[in-house]
Every structure is written in structure tokens, then in C-alpha cells.
Structure 1
Amino acid sequence: MARTILVAGTASHVGKSTVAAGLCRLLADRDVEVAPYKAQNMSNNARAVGDPDGTTGEIGVSQYVQARAARVPATTDHNPVLLKPRGDGESQLVLQGEAVAHYSAGEYYADHWDDALAAARESHARLAADHDVIVAEGAGSIAEPNLRDRDLANVETARFSNADILLVADIERGGVFASLVGTIELMPDDLREQVAGAVITKFRGDRSLLAPGIAAFEERTGVPTLGVLPYDDPGLPEEDSVSLPSVGERAVHGGDDGVPDDRAVTVAVPRLPRASNMTDLEPLAREPGVRVGYLPLDASLETADAVVLPGTKNTVDDLRALREAGFGAALSAFNGPVVGLCGGYQLLGERITNAGVESTDDLDSLAGFGLLPVETRFEADKQVEPVTREFRGVGPLSGAAGAVTGYEIHMGRTRLVGKAARPFPGDDGRDPDGAATDRVLGTYLHGLFENRGPREAFVETVFAAVDRDRPSGNGNGTAPGTTGPAPGSIDAAADRAAALLTEYVDLSPFDP
């Protein structure tokens, strides 16, 4: 039976994903057969993966990243239960990679939680049979009394796997020792003995200043503090949109590249209420001289040099929200490069039909923004698959060519209703996975900008459109003559996370 290490937290966004990915890479580099696992995840940042039996499904992006860190192919067993919020208090339930239906929280816990628990146990058992160690990631806080009898990612996982628990707490929030002590006090009695140690994350300053607090914590709880991680972002993709601004707020990512803002370009991204797979934008934000601005729906595009419409869990309702905010008029008046990804591709089309499939309203047809001559019809079935395709640079990605990899997760079928270029030459002309005009491109391919060719072609187009020299630098690409993972890549981020753990955390309690 494989040993399970549960990376649990005192709260959400304390660094669990980074610690889990670092552990996966460390163990893999020591030739340990390791697999990631998260029994239940709630996120609209998902990845399509292939299972050994030839089927495909979707999992949370963090488990995809952790599988890469563990140097194993990602499968749906790594995240057997995925909840994808769609608004109005509902989430789509995905069990072992397959979308089931949309449920409210009450419906899920009353009628489907037992199925979720069974799926989580089955997936863990399969992983345990094939690996030496499972690195499980918890969700939120492990000490929520109101959720104790239905906490699949934390309490149930710790129990059915008999996991060694590594407790993670974020000092940047303040009150780190109170949160650690309170978490242990509120944990179920039977799990306290499973806590092997604690790690404090996001610390800035002299670690010796924490000594009195650490001593008091250890004396009170008997739990050793295994390390203090400095404030350092390895560059792993975000698990969810918690790091993005709320609707109505503005934020800009990028800018730590030494390029003055007056020499940079800004890629505007509307902060959709139901945005999904926002990790698509992270490779652009890491390019020298590129600022990715997440804007309120009613923001002006006058300072934007390009626009990217991201994916959305509910294209229909986000389209209506954009129109109500006046974004359609702003986009029509914008003359720079525009790219739509997945749901963003659908938004750029002439219309959406059978729209009631995605909305609670009885809708038939809804006009899109009309920048691409395509029409999307929604059906109940869902397209989920990892893909590798030949890409032909057209429109704002002119100059790129060659094989690209990514994934598709979408409902709806899109067809041409006019003349357009196709970025994937093998597409059926009536049912394309992408379409383009001279300055607008839409595609169902998530992960497009993780591919160096399309990413650099788009950045070159944006700089050329504003008649500005592009700063030197390779962005996410590998510099000529170098070896190892490309800077900014998942593998480089996993190596960095592992290096942080190696330097700052005593992992001897978890030695195989």
C-alpha cells in the first residue's frame, strides 16, 4: 500500500499547490514512484487528459501540473471529483473526468456526495496500487466544523488513506500561529495524531524573528515546524481565479522584467464573471514588455494594444453581461489585434443558437460580437480532449507555423457562415476549431500561448501594431545553446518549487 502525504492548509491560497508540486518533483528526482491526488477540487481552471484505457476527461489544473512535476502522465484518477462553478449557486459535477450535470451545493451533498466519495476512494486505490507515494492536496482549511462530515479533500482523504498530514499556513495574512493552533484544535480528534509537521509560507525577513512563536506553537501542540518558506513565486499556473481581481476591479500582471511601462504593450482581458482557464494568459504575462491587464467589463479599451477574450464556464450569460456593460461597443471601436480562446471564440462569432442549453432562461438565439463569420450551436454533449495539431499562422498570429499542443474543453459546435482563414489546415471548413480575419483570431485550443511559435507571433504583431520595438528576451522559450526546462515552463516551475523545499524545509519525516 502506498504511503499518502496530505498537504493540508489552514485556509485557501496558503501555498498547498506549490508545496505539493515541489514534493512530487523532489520524490520523482529520487526515483520514487509518486503520484499527485486531490479527491475533490473546485475550479474552472481545468485540463483535458487521456486515461490508460483510451478515454479522455478533465481534471483541475493543479493536478495536471503536479503530474508533470511527478513525471507521470496526468489521468483523471489524479482528481476524481471536480466541481466547476457556473454561477447562480450551481456547479458542474465532473466525476473521474466525465461531466455529470449541474447541481446546487445542497443537491450535490444530499444526492451525489456518496457517489463522489466512492469515486475518490476508487481513484486513490488505483494510484496506491501502482505507486510508492501519493502526494494528496487538500482544499481550503482542514478544520471547518460545518463541513467536517462532508470534507472529501481533507478529512475523508486523511481517513481512508491514513495519510501523514503536512499542515501549511500563510504568514502574509497575519496571525499565522493563531491559525496553526486554531486549525489543530478544531481538527477532528482522530486526525490530530496524523499531523507530522507544519510549514509556514510567504515569509519576508529574518527567520530568527519567528523563533519565539515557533517555540510556543510547538510547545502547545507538539507539532514540529518543519520549515519556513520565503515569499517566492515559482511560477506555477494558478489553480483558480482567486488571484485575479474581483469584477469591477483592475489589475495588471507582468512588469517585473526591467522593461519600462512606456515601452511595454498592454493586452486587455475582460474579467468575465464566469471566467475559466485563465491560465491561458499566464505565458503572455511572462513575455518581456507585455502587460496583461484584467479589466472591469465597462472599462475603456483606449489604452489597450490588444484584446484577448478568455474562456468562460457560461458563454451565454457572460455575453449578456458584456453587452450590458457596453463592452460590445468598445470592442467594435477597437482596431488592434483580437484573440478569442474557447468561449471567447464563441463570443466573437455572429450568433449563438440553442442558447438555452447554457442559460437558465429559455433562449433560442443570441447575437455575438460579429468579428468572426462563425456561428455556434450549443448541445448537451461536451468536447474534452488533449490535442496536437499543425498550426498555420493567420491573422494576428501570422508567421507561426508547425505542431502545437493544447487541449479542448467546451460545449457547442461552431461552423463557418462566411469566408475566413483557418489556423488548423485540417479543419472541416464547415465546422472549424478556429477561424481568423486579418486582425482577429478565435480558436477552441486552450494552451495556445504555451506554444512558443503562436505566442511570439502574437507578441510581435502587437508590438508592430503600435510601432514599437520588441524588448530582447526569450520569454518562455529556451535560450539558444541552453539545456533543461524552458524558463517559465511548468517543468522549470516544478524544479523551483522543489529547490525551495530542499533549501528551507526538513522533509525527513516523509522519507520513503
Structure 2
Amino acid sequence: MAEYIMLQGTSSHVGKSVLAAALCRIFLQEGKSVVPFKAQNMALNSYVTADGREMGRAQVAQAEAAGLEPAVDMNPVLLKPTGNSCSQVIIDGLSVGNMSAKEYHNGYALEAFSAVQNALSRLTKAYDTLVIEGAGSPAEVNLKPYDIVNMRVAKYLHAPVLLVADVDRGGSLAALVGTLALLEEDERDLVKGLIVNKFRGDVSLFAPAVDFLEKKTGKPVLGVIPYIENLNIDDEDSVSLEDKPADRQEGDLDIAVIRLPKISNFTDFDSLQGEGDVSLRYVREAAELGRPDVVILPGSKNTIEDMAWLRDSGMASALYRVLSAGAPVVGICGGYQMLGRYIYDPDHTESSTEGIGGLDLLPIETTFTAGKTLAQVKGECCGLPFLGQALSAEGLEGYEIHMGHTADAEAGLLHPIVVTERSQQACHVVHGTARRDGLVWGTYMHGIFDNDAFRRDFLNCLRQQKGLQPLAVRRNFRAEKQKSYDRLAAVVRAHLNMDMLRRIMAGRD
């Protein structure tokens, strides 16, 4: 019989995902067969599994913490906002189309719960411990009739719930007390304890608040978890971008990532942010761009809408100015499409328009079609021109997740990035295009900077352009992530009442 523990929050972005990852690693270290689960995610950061399906990034991090290969049963429902109160609905890793919020909540959400039940059935048979994450708050009374991720899951499994609040944003006591007050009696009974997360300073000063909470709610406070700096664990959605700098920090290299309104998969750049010689910043206003050493156009859930924003906001003009001053521009996925001459949408898969002109920095054109490309890939880079150098690398690993197909608009283009294996099948597929002057290139390969040697060669080209000495590869990004999970587990274990947690999971508290 599987054991359960569920983390629900007083709101979004209180740290449920990170705490779930911590519990996954703790239980793994204790020898348990543990798996993460979140019934429904709403996020633009997604991942492609080995079998070519799509899932939320938070459960990927939790799977890594649990020592597992990510699988869509861990996140059977994924909503990817497309704009205008509309989302692409993904069930069991595959898109079933776009729906308005009203269409989804009033007509489809409860139908989607069957996918949740089926996934839970498979997981409870395969694992002895499930760490379950809720979404937002369980006390949103307007959403509760259609809820398939919070109390509906807890009731379905009879799972004990820990309610998490973020003390760093303020109002955590009121949030905990208020959330409990808004729950139905049977829902409050499922809440077995409280967690106060992201505490800064001397925790002993918070003792009166703990006493108050326990007396006011009748629920034990299992722990006050400190704020953990520089954790380097994947973020779930763009809310976390509010915590990332827009101004330049310390670092030899100034890398600016354009913060598109529909930015997706910005975890592509976490590996760059962890380099000691890099100052990585996310830029939303054209005036903030300044004179970076390189500009990166990231992925987008709505490429046409974000391309229009680049023009209307003045960001496109700022990009042209930076490029004319000698700073290169790099595009990943949707950003790669925007670098081209035109983006066509004849079937209106993404927009009500027929298409839009691109930045015209690469002689390529993209046409959207109904199908989505989803695959883990391996490839190579051969002679990519970049700032007077030629980047080459073998054994690149990443994934592709995009709508549309990109084709050359003229003959003789450079295609130095090629996929040689897609979904474990040998192939030879062009995956990027570069200008011969070494100032503009793009690729469909998400995660390309997670490859240590390629990332360092890329950065060394920037260093040499500035007259700085190149640096040797000093980091193993994937190994560092595993150390981060261990560090996270150690902190949470030290500040969480693990004995009480085990009693709760065993049904004794």
C-alpha cells in the first residue's frame, strides 16, 4: 500500500515545488521507492520525455531528485497559456487543442480528471511513496467546483496535506489562518500540519508566531524552512522571473535574455547563470538592454504575438542597434523563428493573423502547422561561426518542442547544428542556421547550453572578443544539479520535523 504526502499552498510561488523535490530526495536517501506527482500544471516551462511527450518542468526536477527518468504520469495535465485567457491543453503529454479558461473549467476539467485517476493508479502500483504537489491555493472558491489538482486529489487518495506559506512575501500567518478558514470541514481535516517557508534571519524570533499558529488553527507547525540562496533548481513558471535580475550583476560577460511576454523554457539559460564569469539578466524594456556582450532571444509559447511585441515595444530597434555595434544575437526555438524573414500561420494555429514579418536577421522562413514536434535529441555542432571563431562539439544533448517547420529562403545557408538522433532513432536533421559573419545564429535545440564543453567554448568566444583569457571547463552542470538536490534535502531535513511527518504519512497523527 503506497504512502502519500501532499503539499498545498496558501498561494502560488510559495515554494511547494522545491519542498516536494526536497522530500523526494530525502525519501530516496532513506531507500524508499518515491515518485513525484502533480495532477495539473499551468506553466510555459515544459520538458519532453524519452517517449516524446510533454510535461511540466517542476516534476522533471522532482523526478531528478527522486532518481527517476521523467514520465508524464507524474504530470498528466499541463496547461500552457497562449494569451487572451486561453491555454493549450495537454493530456498525458499530448496536445488536445486550445481552450478558453471558461471552456476548460466549465466543460473539460472534470473530464481531464480521468487522466489524473489513471496516472495515480499506475503510480501507486509502481511506487511505495508519492510526494504530491497542489497548485495555487485550495481556497479559491470560484475554482473549487472544477478543481482537479488540490483537494479533489487529496480526497480521492485520502492523502494527508501539509499547507505551505511563504513568509518572505509577508502575511504568512494570515494566509495560513485564512486558507484553513475557507476550507470545508472535511478538507480541513485532511490538513495535518503547516510549513512556513523561505524564512530569513534568526528562526528563534519566529517562535511566538509558531505558538500562535498552533493555538489558532489546532494544526502543528512541522517546520520553518530557511530561505536557500543559489539553489540552482529549475523554476516552474515565469513568476520566478520576478526574482531574476534585469540589471547587470558582477561578471566579466554581460548576457541579456529578452523577457518576451510569452517566454517559455527559460531554464535553457540556468547553466549560463551558474558560470562565475557570467552576468545573466532578463530584459523587459528596450531601455534596459544597454550594450550587452550577447543577446539571446528565448523560446515563446506565442511566437507571432511576441514578434509583434518586439516591434511595438521598441525592442526590435534596440536589437538592431546592439547588433550594429558588434554584439551577436542568438535565438533558441521561438527566438530562432523570430530571427527569420517571415512566420506564416495559414491555419491560425497560433494567431488570428496569417503571419508576421520576422527580424530578417537570418534568410529563413517558418510555417506553422497543427502538429507539434516533441523529441529528445542528440546532435553535433560543426564549424559554427561566432565572433571570428568556429564552434564545434560532438555529443550535444537536448530536446525540441515547437510548432512549425523552418526552411531556407535562399540557397547556400550555413547549417552547422545537426541532430543525429531523435527519440533514440538515427537521423540527420538540420537544427540551426548561422550567418557567415558570426553575429547571428539560432537553433531549435533546447538545453544546448547545458552541454558543458559547448557552453564554455561559447563563453570563451565572448571572452576573447573582450580581450580576456579563455577559461577551462570547470563545471559539470548535471552533476551540480544532483548536489543541489542533496543540499536542499539536508536543509529541509534539518528544519522539518521528520518524525512527525512519518507519523502523519503512516496515519498515526
TM over 0.5: yes
Give the C-alpha shift of residue 301 in structure 1: 4.1
For residue 29 of structure 2, what is the amino acid of its counterpart? D
For residue 272 of structure 1, what is the amino acid of its counterpart? L
Cα distance in structure 2, aligned partners of 1:245 and 1:303: 22
Residues 133-187 of structure 1: CA deviation (Å, up to 9, x unaligned): 1111111112222222222111111111111111111111222222111111212
- The unaligned stretches of length 5 or more in structure 1 are 256-260, 479-484
Answer whether contact 2:305 2:351 (CA < 8 A) is retained. Answer: no
Q: What is the aligned partner in structure 2 of residue 401 from structure 1?
A: 393
Q: What is the aligned partner in structure 1 of residue 446 from structure 2?
A: 446
Give the C-alpha shift of residue 110 in structure 1: 1.8
Answer whether contact 1:45 1:60 (CA < 8 A) is retained. Answer: yes
Q: Secondary structure at the match of 2:232?
A: coil
Q: What is the aligned partner in structure 2 of residue 273 from structure 1?
A: 261
Give the C-alpha shift of residue 460 in structure 1: 1.1
Alignment root-mean-square deviation, CA:
2.3
1:378 corresponds to 2:368: yes
1:133 corresponds to 2:132: no
Q: What is the aligned partner in structure 1 of residue 103 from structure 2?
A: 107
Q: Secondary structure at the match of 2:307?
A: helix
Answer whether contact 2:36 2:130 (CA < 8 A) is retained. Answer: yes
Cα distance in structure 2, aligned partners of 1:252 and 1:4: 43
Q: Secondary structure at the match of 2:418?
A: coil
1:37 corresponds to 2:25: no
Q: What is the aligned partner in structure 1 of residue 205 from structure 2?
A: 209
Q: Secondary structure at the match of 1:153?
A: coil
Which segment drifts farther, 189-198 or 306-315?
A: 189-198
For residue 21 of structure 2, what is the amino acid of its counterpart? A
Q: What is the aligned partner in structure 2 of residue 457 from structure 1?
A: 457
Q: What is the aligned partner in structure 2 of residue 258 from structure 1?
A: none
Residues 449-473 of structure 1: CA deviation (Å, up to 9, x unaligned): 1111221122112222222346788
Give the C-alpha shift of residue 297 in structure 1: 4.5
Q: What is the aligned partner in structure 2 of residue 482 from structure 1?
A: none
Cα distance in structure 2, aligned partners of 1:473 and 1:457: 9
Q: 1:509 to 1:400 in 2, by over 3 A?
A: farther
Cα distance in structure 2, aligned partners of 1:361 and 1:508: 56
Q: What is the aligned partner in structure 1 of residue 431 from structure 2?
A: 433
Cα distance in structure 2, aligned partners of 1:425 and 1:242: 32
Answer whether contact 1:289 1:470 (CA < 8 A) is retained. Answer: no
Give the C-alpha shift of residue 389 in structure 1: 2.3
1:69 corresponds to 2:65: yes
Q: What is the aligned partner in structure 1 of residue 287 from structure 2?
A: 299
Q: 1:8-407, aligned counterparts within 5 Å? A: 8-50=8-50, 55-233=51-229, 234-245=231-242, 251-252=246-247, 255=249, 261=250, 264-299=252-287, 301-333=289-321, 334=323, 335-354=326-345, 357-363=348-354, 365-392=355-382, 394-396=384-386, 398-407=390-399
For residue 423 of structure 1, what is the amino acid of its counterpart? I
Give the C-alpha shift of residue 22 in structure 1: 0.5
Q: What is the aligned partner in structure 1 of residue 499 from structure 2?
A: 508
Answer whether contact 1:90 1:102 (CA < 8 A) is retained. Answer: yes
Q: Which of 419, 422, 429 does residue 416 from structure 2 map onto?
A: 422
Q: TM-score, structure 2 length as denominator?
A: 0.91
Q: What is the aligned partner in structure 1 of residue 7 from structure 2?
A: 7
- The unaligned stretches of length 5 or more in structure 2 are none
Residues 40-99 of structure 1: CA deviation (Å, up to 9, x unaligned): 11000000013xxxx421111000111111111111110011000011111100011001
Give the C-alpha shift of residue 302 in structure 1: 3.8
Q: 1:390 to 1:469 in 2, by over 3 A?
A: closer
**Quick one: percent identity of the two aligned structures?**
39
Residues 339-383 of structure 1: CA deviation (Å, up to 9, x unaligned): 1110011011122123553443231x4321122222211100001
Cα distance in structure 2, aligned partners of 1:340 and 1:412: 15
Q: Secondary structure at the match of 2:493?
A: helix
Cα distance in structure 2, aligned partners of 1:370 and 1:341: 15
Q: Secondary structure at the match of 1:244?
A: helix
Answer whether contact 1:77 1:123 (CA < 8 A) is retained. Answer: yes
For residue 414 of structure 2, what is the amino acid of its counterpart? A
Cα distance in structure 1, aligned partners of 2:447 and 2:110: 34
Residues 250-282 of structure 1: CA deviation (Å, up to 9, x unaligned): 7248x4xxxxx3x62211122111111111121
Q: TM-score, structure 1 length as denominator?
A: 0.90
Answer whether contact 1:300 1:330 (CA < 8 A) is retained. Answer: no
Cα distance in structure 1, aligned partners of 2:390 and 2:242: 32
Residues 201-246 of structure 1: CA deviation (Å, up to 9, x unaligned): 1111221111111112112222111111111142211100002249
Q: Secondary structure at the match of 1:456?
A: helix
Answer whether contact 1:341 1:443 (CA < 8 A) is retained. Answer: yes
Residue-pair matches, total: 489
Cα distance in structure 1, aligned partners of 2:302 and 2:136: 25
Q: Secondary structure at the match of 1:166?
A: strand
Answer whether contact 1:305 1:336 (CA < 8 A) is retained. Answer: yes
Answer whether contact 2:419 2:431 (CA < 8 A) is retained. Answer: no
Which segment drifts farther, 60-69 or 139-148?
A: 139-148
For residue 362 of structure 1, what is the amino acid of its counterpart? T
Cα distance in structure 2, aligned partners of 1:14 and 1:355: 41
Answer whether contact 2:372 2:401 (CA < 8 A) is retained. Answer: yes
Q: What is the aligned partner in structure 2 of residue 411 from structure 1?
A: 403
Q: Secondary structure at the match of 2:492?
A: helix
